[in-house]
Chains A and B, each alone.
Chain A
């Protein structure tokens, strides 16, 4: 059973913000929410992670719902280099990662 659900694809115009949603209604209290992205022909790379509070780093922001059943990855200004598949993942206390099917982001010049 999938632990996270994401839209298959999204589009964004270059230099505009992008909000990538993720549902994880069966999340447990100790699961962390991670986001990775996979550029074409590359392995996935870490983007951001959080537990309960919203998080910001140089790449993106992560907004976590109060009930933790959903989260949103925010890219503040999409660039062409942000075109990738974005994975929303739950990581349990044992260190196991549960990848979803990901959202393919297309950035339109």
Chain B
């Protein structure tokens, strides 16, 4: 079946511009996560959506970052006024909240480069 997809796969933008990154989770998955991974680093949690509950935004690094999840499915991560330190791979994952696994299925990521 279809996995998690993300678009674009690569994005180069100029400092100060806004960018939108899209995530299409696996159909039926109730939870959706956004992470950021800088070169050679581990995963940094950004935001977590679970069903109709208010999202956990505790990982967003600044108010330039925001995310929406429409209709409990597709999610968009928006970065306003991008800075060079925003350059990273942005990973999206979805999971079905059932049983004990909560296994996350990751997308291929969007590589963002801010010049």
A-side interface residues toward B, CB under 8 Å?
A: 32, 34, 36, 42-46, 49, 51, 85, 87, 91, 94-102
In angstroms, Cα B43 to Cα A99, docked, is 6
In angstroms, Cα B68 to Cα A86, docked, is 30
A44 and B43 in contact, given A94-B56, A95-B97, A97-B104 (Cβ under 8 angstroms): yes
In angstroms, Cα B44 to Cα A47, docked, is 19
Greatest chain A CB density within 10 A among B43, B44, B103, B109 is at B43
**For A98, what are the chain B residues with a Cβ–Cβ distance below 8 Å?**
45
Tell which of B95, B97, B101, B106 touches A44, judged by Cβ atoms closer than 8 Å. B106
B-side interface residues toward A, CB under 8 Å?
A: 31, 33, 35, 41-45, 48, 50, 56, 91, 93, 95, 97, 100-109
CB of B42 within 8 A of CB of A101, answer: yes
The contact sample of 30 A-B pairs, CB cut-off 8 A, is A32-B100, A32-B102, A36-B104, A42-B108, A43-B106, A43-B107, A44-B43, A44-B91, A44-B106, A46-B104, A46-B105, A49-B100, A49-B101, A51-B100, A87-B42, A87-B43, A91-B102, A94-B50, A94-B56, A95-B31, A95-B48, A95-B102, A96-B45, A96-B56, A97-B102, A98-B45, A99-B42, A99-B43, A100-B42, A101-B42
Tell which of A43, A49, A96, A102 touches B109, judged by Cβ atoms closer than 8 Å. A43
| A43: min CB distance to chain B, Å | 3
In angstroms, Cα B101 to Cα A46, docked, is 9
In angstroms, Cα B99 to Cα A51, docked, is 12
In angstroms, Cα B42 to Cα A87, docked, is 8
Chain A residue with the shortest CB-CB distance to B107: A43
